[in-house]
Amino acid sequence: METTLNIITILLSVLITAGILLQVKGIGSGFFGEAYSTFRTRRGFEQTLFRGTLIMMVVFVGLSLARFRIL
């Protein structure tokens, strides 16, 4: 059971990182914070990606707490 939780946690961390990097806009790759900030609404795939990333983050925190038997 512990090995399964570890694998799921690692996969979620990779997916969260990819989701965050896909959301960065502007000049540059976003690895060094060069993207410009604009205020506009998210639509379509961008909104789905944003919500999916938030859900994955909540699941990641829950799994991390479960691994240490805090929940």
Q: One digit per residue, pLDDT tens: the chain, 71 residues?
A: 778 888 999 999 999 999 999 887 654 555 555 555 555 676 788 889 999 999 999 999 999 888 887 65
Q: What is the pTM of this model?
A: 0.71
**Structural domain tally of the chain?**
1
Residue 6: the pLDDT is 87
What domain range is 61 assigned to? 2-67
Query: What does the DSSP assignment read for 29-52?
Result: -STTS-PPP------THHHHHHHH
Where residue 40 falls (left for φ over 0; alpha for ψ -120 to 50; beta otherwise) is beta
